Every structure is written in structure tokens, then in C-alpha cells.
Amino acid sequence: MLYLTIIGGAFIAWLILVFLFTPAIPYHIEAPIDTRSDHFIHVLESTCHSTLERDNKVEILTDGTMFYPAMLDAIRGARETVNMECYIFKRGEIGNRFIEALADRARAGVRVTIVMDAVGSFGAFHRSARPLREAGCRIEPYQRMRWYSLARLNNRTHRELLVVDGQIAFVGGAGVADWWWKPGGKRHRSGRPMWRDMMARIEGPLVADIQGVVAENWLECCGEILTGPLTYKRSVAAGASPAFAIKSSPSDRATVSRVLFQTLVEASARRVRITTPYFLPDKAFRVAFRRTATGSALGAAREPAVVRPAARSGRQDFRIRSRDDAQQGAPGRRPVGGHRHDQPRQPIVRTQRRSERRRARRSGRRAHQLRFRARPHAERGNDSRGVAPPAGVGKTHRYGRMDPRTPAIKSGRPNGLRYGFAQHRRGFAGIFAIRRCWRLVAQPFRAALDLGLHPLIPAETHMAKTAADVLADRLVDWDVRVVFGLPGDGINGIMEALRKRQERITFVQVRHEEAAAFMACGYAKYTGRLGVCLATSGPGAIHLLNGLYDAKMDGAPVVAITGQTYHDLIGTRYQQEVDLLALFKDVAVYNQQVMGAGHVRALVDAGCRAALSQRGVAHISCPVDLQEQTIADDERSQKKVEGHTSNAWRPPIVIPRVEDLRAAADVLNAGTRTVILAGQGALGAGDELEQLADLMAAPIVKPLLGKGVVADDSPYTTGGIGLLGTEPSEIAMEKCDTLLMAGTSFPYMEFYPKHDACRGVQIDRDASRIGLRFPVEVGLCGDAKATLQALLPHIQRRRDRAFLEEAQAGMKAWRELMRTRAHEDSVPLKPQVVAGALNALLADDAIISTDSGTITTWVARHINMRRNQLFSCSGNLATMAPGLPYAIAAQIAYPGRQSVAFVGDGGFTMLMGEFATAVKYRLPIKVVIIKNNTLGMIKWEQMVFLGNPEYGVSLEPIDFVKFAEACGGIGFRCERPDEVHSALEAMLLADGPAICEAVVDPFEPPMPARVKAKQALHMAEALARGEPNRGRIALTLFRDKVNDLKGR
């Protein structure tokens, strides 16, 4: 019996050793991969058994204060299905909200299915499941703990997934529990910060792939295969983000996620950033990670105690910031802020011999508390030598409690990693974590791996040292990823703060501050996020104004940060002293000056919130000396409470009252000839506008900034309005008896219907704009998309379709006319030909930026917007020069998309130096320059509006091809119709920034859709009064008319 016991014990010990110490797979890739190539995508698709889905909309939500409200909103808006899967679901404040929302939807007839992990939600499953089941939800535990399932005990679902109506999905690392929602931690201890995690909100074709992952575990729980049409919806393009949905589980020794991480890390050429709750890299991963140019990892949540020792032990190989390593103010932890943080730190020496550790154990002390003797051959900072600790180094803190700023010295022998593991090897946690946690716990990472330009937003681990540090950190907290600006001595402190944070926030140096403001405005327009520009005091701040007025008048959220002279010299006529608060008073919705380091956080929070909420400019000025002031040196007032502001902000979705919606519907239903005028405020509401247009048989007319509201090939649109609009739009506006204005205050009132013959309804988020241009009967103050969704059920379908059919017939003839003008083969080259050729070559998700002038007419009429394309220009300010800066900002915001500037030679030369900016940052923008050597719009306005000959509008010719090459870019030229297509195609295919110079007819007029008698009379007067080019102009007008008649 004794022998059997010994044999059995030995066998069990052998099994344990095999289980714990099975060698890990030495992952490595066969050959280098270019991440910019199609082969890279093909490799990922093949190895990960997934397909790259395009046309998605992906929004990253950081912290529970952001993603929980978004998830609850999606659940409350569900109409058909809600499918949820989670590892942790605990009752509490946030858990009860989820239970209420899910139960309410189930009672409303929505099919709700929920999978909860039996271990992760242990102890709370039945309490959570009871009210949900009573409401009609179907809820199943994943992998119940049974005697016959012990072999699968570790097979848990760490997937945190939510799919609503098969159209919206949430994926990330957070379950449902209060410790992601509010401070206190898992055990609700005061002083513990809330857990930090990220979730991605996804719309588009990728949602169907995620739905399939949810269905897999539902099948494992109850045997039901989800196949209904409500579960899997047809893919609908929602954005322009390509994405994978990669399914991985620890059932195989080589998991898909592990293969993916190794491939991404080894393929990286510039940097790798990881955010994950568990960071336990094996040897292959560490080797690959060290090979990258720069690498950093961020612990996104508290590590469980079982993996914390091993996780910390190998971190000297990486740049890591962990919430658990340095939690400010947490009980029992060493503080990292305040005066102690400013003291110099002694280096921690991570070198011990085994004999020293044994001697320490015999003396009753822990190994890492031993005082070391310096070896005589040691040299500080030299990895090939020993280590000589300076005087005073004695008791050291455990690595997990090291101050992040404490300098570390590596030893010549690779003892650091072994010592880190050795001090924990004796316990179960150390042995278990060293060999098995990668497979058992940490696969797959519940987080994102970012190989692009956009930095992660790490948790704040210590208080910023200076006012400039606070400003930069707070911008990062507000999800600002890029700052456009030009350095100067008035902002040196801010520049230093940005330099120290360049891994988290990118500074783009421009050639002129006006361009910085335009770039911030364009970035805000194209992304909806905060655009930020930075300029020095005095002249630098003054140069921002034109771009900031562009942002103000077009409703773009921009934060402008300026320097100021020394705070105690303001008012003494010091160098570069300008009253910036007075200067920015009109342009800014928020306008303040920093009074001290302790003032910065509140000002940044208030400024960012004002810019986003009021869709305008926020200006913050900081005296140069206060930028270097430390928080400790700034004595706060008696009423000040530290940390009284936050960066919590969500876009308000306002919907009018039901009675107002009914009143608006009554006006619209009473009409017989309705026109929808949809501006930039209706961007994103294209589907709702087309549904409304179909119900009311109403054409959609688009002011210039609303060009992208619906696609130009939509059967419901008649295109633009105004001097650069279309004839069908003008006719429709003249004949309509009801007008619905959605997100627009189109300024040119002569193009509106007659007041006494037309009734009106207006939708606008800004109540002050309602009734500003047209005397509407009903004003609906609210978000355009949400308001249209609420209005649609009240609209009756109109049987008489004659008005819409007339507009469609007119639009068919107009398109044919534009096609004729775009294919003229006459010489000199017509600008319409260039615009038409570019339109045919643009990518389906291209971003088009343009200037103000005749160039705007060619874009408005000959560049046809497609559903996923973006377009913008200076709308209400109508300033020249923003086309190039807009294109640069668009390329930075969307690195993988085509960004094209279609500009004139007059507007381009105003800020042409910014092409060198594109070259410097290797931004592959494409610039089409319509070169007519004249300020065309001004010339035609002198003649057509006033009857005067042109004067002062001629430009000296510039060789833009040589200019492009001088800047380091590529240049192309076309002068004849048969050269246009090949030149534009070569430009678009060029690697890097490129210019195509199109030399066009300077006498081609941007004629309005319908020429009025007064305009024709003024033109004749100008020709008769000595217009120097009257013969050429008259001949051009005659030929254009003949060509139009041929085309018709």
C-alpha cells in the first residue's frame, strides 16, 4: 500500500510539473512584413480566420462614465433584439440600471438573450437573473461548475459583448459592476479609484461578425443556433473604418490572439502600444517587443492578486504605467504627488547574488531589504559593468511600489528578471503565474493594440508638476490627439510639456499660425472632435484670428491656446503685449486667462466643454512665467476645492416636445409641394432625410456646407442652391408651398421662396437661428437626426408625386449639361474638365477640401459626393486659403483615406508654405491647383455685380511643379484636355505629397444657374467701359453657350 501511495504521489507530482512547466511555443514570424501592404492584410485574414470589414464606424469609449451611458442608451433604443455576453455582472448601482433597461425592453417585446459566466458572476447570477427572467429575458450561465465539467473549469468567457438590433455592437474589457462606474474598488474602500477599461462602440458590417461570436456561446449554453432575420441584419455602411472581429479561445495550445499579437509586434516598424488588464508576456513576446523602435504598455485595470507578482517582475523591459503600480492617494501606498514627488530619487538597484539572498534569509530579513556593497569595477549606466549603488541606498520598496519617476540601473548579468520572479517563487501565485497565466488568464488580452499614429489615453497616475503640464495632461484627458501650432518664446513652457508627452499627444508644426487655426477648424469639422491650435503671444495670437472666425461662423469646436507676456508686466507696454482677451472677445464663446497653476485644470475643462457644447471657439491665454509655475507654488483661495471639475461630457441629443412635432407635421402634411433645405447641421441624418423626402415627395436642396448630407446621385436631391447651385434647385424653391429647413441658416435670402406663398418649419440645435432667414411657423429646437426620427411617424405619405418627378426630370437634364461641360475638348483647358476628371478618379471614401472663389463653383457642380465621402470649405466666412490646411488636417485625422485639396492659384499661394508641412510629416495629400493667374471670383464680381472693368486681380505666374519639387514633393502639370486624366491619375498614385497644376482658361466665367437680366446688363456695361479682355471674354461666353445648346 505504501508503494502505491508513493507511486500515486509521484505520478500526481509529475502531472503537476508537466502541467505547470510545459515549454511555451517560441513564437516568431517567418519573414518581415510591411504593414502598409495588401500582403499584411492577407496574412492577418488567413492566420486569424477573419475578414477585414470596411465601412465601419468605431468609437472608443474610455472609462465607465463614458461607455456605460452609451450602452444603456443603445439598450433603451432597442426595437427588436438585444444580445449580451459578459464575464462579470454584479448587482449594484450600475448593475441595477442594466437590469431595469433590459427588463423594460423585454416587456416591450424585444428579444433579450444574456450569457453570464458562471464563475465571473458567481454569487450574483441568481439575484441578477430572477428579475430579468420575470420580465421575459432569456438568460443562461456559461459553463456551470459540475463534477463532470471539471476538465473545462478554466474554459471561461471573458468576452464582454453587447449587440443591439444587429446594428450596434459594444466590445471591450469591462463587465457590469460598480467598480468600473465609481471610485471605491471591488470592496468599496474609500480612496480607491474606479477601474479603468475601454469599450468600442461599433456600427457597420463588422457587427454581423460580432453577432456570430455572441451566438457561439449562446449555442454552448442552451444548444440553440441563432438564425433568425432579426439576429443577423444586412450589412450597412456606417463609416470609413476598416476592422477585424477576431475570435479566440484557449482551447488550443496556439491561440489566434497569441498569433495575432506576435505578428503585430514583429511587423511594427515604429511603435507598439498596448492597453490590457493583465500583462504577462512570455519570452518570445518580450524579445519581439524590445525590437520595436518604441514600445509601451499601459495597465488598464487592477491586476488580480494571483497574477500581480509575476506581472510586475518583468516590467523593467517595458515602459509601463499601471494603475496598481502608482495609485495616487490609495491607502497604504506611497504617494507620488506633492512636494515628495519633486525630491530627487535614488536609483533602485535590482542586483543580488544567491549568497546574499541566503544570508538575508538567515538574518531574518527579506532579500530585497539587504544593504549592498559596491563592487569597485561598477559604473553607473553601463550595462556591461557591475552596479555601484550611491550612498544612502538601503531598504528598497517592492518593485510594484516603485515611484514611476525613480531611475533604474540595469546589471551586467541578467539577474533583474530572475530576481523579480525569485522573490515570489515560493508561493502558489508565483509558480502558477510564471508558467501558466499567459494561457489560463491573460489570453486573449481584453484590450486594444494600436499600431497607428493615435496615442492611447493613459490614466492619470500623478499630479502634473507645472501649469503647462496640467494643461497638456488635461488636453489628453479630453481626448485631444493633435495640436497644430508654431513655437515661440511666449509658449516655451507649453512646448516643453508637449515634448514630454509626445507619445500621447502629437504636435504638428506649421509655417504660419493662420494655417494652425485652419487645421484645427478642419480637424473639428471632419471629426466632430476638438481641434486645438497653439500660438505664441502678440503677433502669433493675432495670426490665429482668420481661422478662428472660420470655426466660429461654421460651428466647429476649436480650442485656441495662446501665450502672453509675464503676468506682472501686463499693462506696462512690454514687448509683444496685446490685450488678447479683448482681441478674442468676439470670436470666442469662452475667453479666459490663466491666473496660476492651480487655475489651469478648471479653465481647460470649462473651455473644452464650452467649445463642444456651443460649437464654437474657446480661447485660453497663459502668461509665459506662469507656464513654469508649480502647483505647490500657487496658493489657492479659501473657496477653491481641488479637483472640482471633470472632463465628463456627452453630446446632447435634444428632441422637441411631442406637441411641437405634431404642429410641424400638420404644416408639412398640409402642403402639396414641399422642399427640404438640408445644411451641415443635418450631416449624419441622410437616411432620415431620404425617408422623409420619399414620404412627402419632396426634393432635397443642399447649401454648400450640406453637400455631403446625402449623396449627389440620390434620386431625391437637386443639388446645391445659390450662385453656384443648380437650376432645378432654384425652380423647386420658387414653386414650393412648404419649406422644411434642417440644420441650416443659408444666408442668401433672395433664393428662398416668397414669404406669402410658402409655409415653413425649421429644425436647428441652436434656438437663436430659428426664424433667422425665413418666417417659419413652427420651430423645432433639437438634434437634426433625432428630431427627424421623431417626426417621421407623424408624416403622411403623399400620393401626388408630380412635384418630385418634375424636379427629378430637371435634375436629369442638369446632370447631362454638367457632363457636357466636363467633357469639352476645347483649348485653353476648361476648369470644369479638370473637376469632372478628378470626380471620376476619387476614392469612395475620399475627403475633399476646397477654397473660396471660382474654384468653389467647379467643386459644387462637378464633384459628386458619394455616401462615404467627406467635404468641407469655409462656408459662412468664405475666406481664401483654408483648402490646403483642411486637407492636411483631414489626412492626420484619417491616415488611411485619400485627402485631396481642390484649390485655385490665388488661395493656394496665401499659405503655400504648408505644403512643406505635409512633406515634413509625410502626409500623402494631393493638391489640384486650378491655375488661371487671376483672382477669378473678384474679377467676375467687379464685372457682373457692378458693371466695372476688372482691376487689380492679375497674378504673377508661379511654376507650382517646381515649387512642389523644391519642397520635397512631386509635381505634375496638364494644359490640354487629353492630358488631364493621366496627370491626375499619376498624382493620386504618387507616394507622398503631390501637386497637379492645371493651366486653365482665365476667361471661363462661373456663371450662375440662371442668369438674371440685371447681371447680363452689368456684364455688357463692363465690356463697354474698357474691360481689357472684352474680346476674349465675349468669345468665351459665346462658345460656352453654343456648347451648352449642343449638349442639350
Q: Is residue 459 part of a domain?
A: no
Q: Give the pLDDT of residue 405.
A: 35
SS3 content of the chain, % helix, strand, coil (to 5): 40, 15, 45
Residues 161 and 193 in one domain: yes
Residues 624 and 527 in one domain: yes
Question: What is the rounded CA–CA span in Å between residue 517 and residue 169?
Answer: 36
In DSSP notation, 767-812 reads GGGTTSSS--SEEEES-HHHHHHHHGGGPPPPS--HHHHHHHHHHH
Q: Is residue 314 part of a domain?
A: yes
The CATH number assigned to the domain holding 215 equals 3.30.870.10
Residues 442 and 478 in one domain: no
C-alpha cell at 274: 498596448
Question: What is the rounded CA–CA span in Å between residue 90 and residue 178?
Answer: 8
Task: Report the number of distinct structural domains present in the chain.
Answer: 5
pTM of the model as a whole: 0.60
Taking alpha carbons only, the member of 869, 855, 920 closest to residue 892 is: 920
Residues 190 and 318 in one domain: no
Q: Give the pLDDT of residue 42.
A: 78
Out of 245, 273, 299, pick the residue that ends a domain.
245
How many other CB atoms are found less than 10 A from the CB of residue 602? 16
- Whose grid coordinates read 496638364? 974
Out of 245, 272, 294, pick the residue that ends a domain.
245
Q: Give the pLDDT of residue 900.
A: 97
Is the distance from CB of 332 to CB of 190 less than 8 angstroms? no
Q: For residue 678, what are the β-bridge partners?
A: 742
Q: Going by C-beta distance under 8 Å and a sequence separation of 6 or more, which residues neighbour residue 208?
A: 166, 232, 233, 235
Residues 86 and 233 in one domain: yes
Out of 189, 212, 245, pick the residue that ends a domain.
245
Q: For residue 38, with 0-12 CB atoms within 10 Å meaning exposed, 13-18 middle and 19 or more buried, which class applies?
A: exposed
* Measured CA angle at 290 (ends 284, 296), to 5 deg: 110
Q: Going by C-beta distance under 8 Å and a sequence separation of 6 or more, which residues neighbour residue 1036?
A: 1001, 1003, 1004, 1005
The CATH number assigned to the domain holding 782 equals 3.40.50.1220
Q: Is residue 14 part of a domain?
A: no
E-assigned strand segments in 960-1011? 970-974, 994-999
Question: What is the rounded CA–CA span in Å between residue 583 and residue 540?
Answer: 12
* Measured CA angle at 671 (ends 669, 674), to 5 deg: 100
Residues 360 and 500 in one domain: no
Residues 398 and 524 in one domain: no
Q: Which domain holds residue 896?
A: 823-1046
Q: Going by C-beta distance under 8 Å and a sequence separation of 6 or more, which residues neighbour residue 484?
A: 508, 510, 515, 516, 517, 519, 520, 523, 531, 532, 533, 534, 889
Residues 561 and 502 in one domain: yes
Cα 315 to its chain centre, rounded Å, is 30
| Tens digit of each residue's pLDDT (9 = 90 or more) over 825-877 | 888 999 999 999 999 999 999 999 999 999 999 999 999 999 899 999 999 99
Question: What is the rounded CA–CA span in Å between residue 767 and residue 842?
Answer: 38
Instruction: State the angle between helix axes of 936-944 and 854-862 in degrees (0 to 180), rounded to the nearest 10.
Output: 100
Q: Give the pLDDT of residue 438.
A: 35
Instruction: Please identify every stretch of the chain with a pLDDT value under 50, giving residue numbers as ranges.
Output: 293, 297-302, 322-354, 356-357, 360, 364-464, 1038, 1041-1042, 1044-1048
Taking alpha carbons only, the member of 560, 569, 624, 568 closest to residue 592 is: 560
Q: Is residue 21 part of a domain?
A: no
Residues 486 and 621 in one domain: yes
Q: Is residue 651 part of a domain?
A: no
C-alpha cell at 628: 513654469
Residues 240 and 261 in one domain: no
Question: What is the rounded CA–CA span in Å between residue 959 and residue 637?
Answer: 61
Q: Give the pLDDT of residue 515.
A: 97
Residues 323 and 303 in one domain: yes
Q: Is residue 43 part of a domain?
A: no
The CATH number assigned to the domain holding 1033 equals 3.40.50.970
Q: Outline where 873-935 has alpha helix (H).
A: 883-893, 905-910, 914-920
Q: Give the pLDDT of residue 622.
A: 96
Q: For residue 199, what are the β-bridge partners?
A: 61, 172
Q: Is residue 606 part of a domain?
A: yes
Q: Give the pLDDT of residue 429.
A: 35
Q: Is residue 41 part of a domain?
A: no
C-alpha cell at 95: 448593475
The dihedral of CA 286, 290, 292, 297: what is its sign? positive
Residues 1002 and 956 in one domain: yes
